[in-house]
Homo-oligomer: A and B are copies of this chain.
Amino acid sequence: MPRPPFRPEPRETDPPLSTTDYVVLGMTSLGARSGYEIRQAVELSIRFFWNISHAQIYPSLQRLEAAGLIRGWDEPHGRRPRRLLEVTEAGQQVLRTWLTSEEAMPFELRDIALVRLYFADRLEKEDALSLAAAVRERSQERVDTLRKIESDYHLSQDPASSSTLTLRLGIAFHEAMITVCDEYEDEQRAALAWRLEQAD
């Protein structure tokens, strides 16, 4: 009977961190002190380009703590349980290494509105028109909301660009969407007018 092949002890080296882990680590490094605060910080800052749900945060915190990148201790508030966190020196270092690494920075966009618009030719022109209008209105609402937030923001203090970065990108993107919809609507209306003319 052959000897089983030699396998070195599979050296449980820390698995590489996911982007979500780096977000959790980064928010801790910026001063978020609990899973709950991390979630709020994400919601108020980077959710436009990287959203995470609380169901991802708690397992991520466990991984980071096991890897020694953050430190956590229980500090209940009254009888309500609470686990406070802080980043370790190793964690700071890992974060900085990630931020300066040369690895690829993939870009991903998923927008059902654009998918629908792409297939709008399958509809009657009237329906295609109202679809485009709905998409345009959605973007218009987003722009209005973001502009409102932007002006409230200017009224307050901090001119730090990292906080307004998401605002400005959101505005730029949705304004481009509005332009595209406008053009599409013009085309459809022109085609429709031509058809009505022919019918006379």
Residues of A that sit less than 8 Å from B by CB: 19, 22-23, 26, 29-30, 45-46, 48-51, 92, 95-96, 98-100, 105-123, 127, 130-131, 134-135, 138, 142, 161-162, 165-166, 168-169, 172-173, 175-177, 179-180, 183-184, 187
Given the known interface contacts A169-B177, A169-B180, A173-B176, the answer about A105 and B99 at a Cβ–Cβ threshold of 8 Å is no
* Chain B residues within an 8 Å CB radius of A26: 115, 118-119, 122
User: By the criterion CB–CB under 8 Å, are A107 and B99 in contact?
Assistant: no
Chain A at the B interface: SS class: helix
Q: Nearest 5 pairs between A and B by C-beta?
A: A172-B176, A105-B113, A26-B119, A49-B114, A108-B110
| Bound-state Cα–Cα, A185 to B27, Å | 22
Given the known interface contacts A51-B108, A168-B180, the answer about A23 and B99 at a Cβ–Cβ threshold of 8 Å is no
Copies in the complex: 2
Closest to A168 in B: B180
Assuming A49-B110, A96-B127, A107-B142, what are 9 further A-B pairs, CB within 8 angstroms?
A30-B122, A99-B123, A106-B111, A108-B109, A118-B162, A118-B165, A120-B162, A169-B173, A172-B173
* Chain B residues within an 8 Å CB radius of A165: 114, 117-118, 180, 184
| Bound-state Cα–Cα, A32 to B105, Å | 31
* Chain B residues within an 8 Å CB radius of A168: 176, 179-180
Q: How far is the CB of A94 from chain B (nearest CB, A)?
A: 11
User: By the criterion CB–CB under 8 Å, are A172 and B172 in contact?
Assistant: yes
User: By the criterion CB–CB under 8 Å, are B105 and A138 in contact?
Assistant: yes
